[in-house]
Amino acid sequence: SIVINLSKVTFLNSFALTVFLEMHKMLQKQGGKLVIAYPSAEVSKLLEITRLNTVLEVYETEREAMDVI
C-alpha cells in the first residue's frame, strides 16, 4: 500500500491522474491500495470532477491515511 501526500500539489494533469489510477489497479491486484492524503482544494476539486474520489481513498490528513493501510 502507498500513501501519497499531495499537500504541496495544486495541479494534476491527465497523465498524473492516469498514473494514480494504474497504481491503484496494480496495488489492488496485490492486496494493497493507493491512498491520497492532504489534497489541496484545487486537487480535491479535480478528484471530484473526474470522480476519482469515488475510486481512490482520500483523507484530509496523513495520519488518517496511514491508519487505513
19, 30, 10: which is closest to 52 by C-alpha?
A: 19
pLDDT tens sequence across 5-52: 999 999 999 999 999 999 999 999 999 999 999 999 999 999 999 999
pTM reported for the whole predicted model: 0.88
Beta bridge partners of 37: 5, 59
Question: What contacts 49, CB < 8 A, 6 or more positions away?
Answer: none
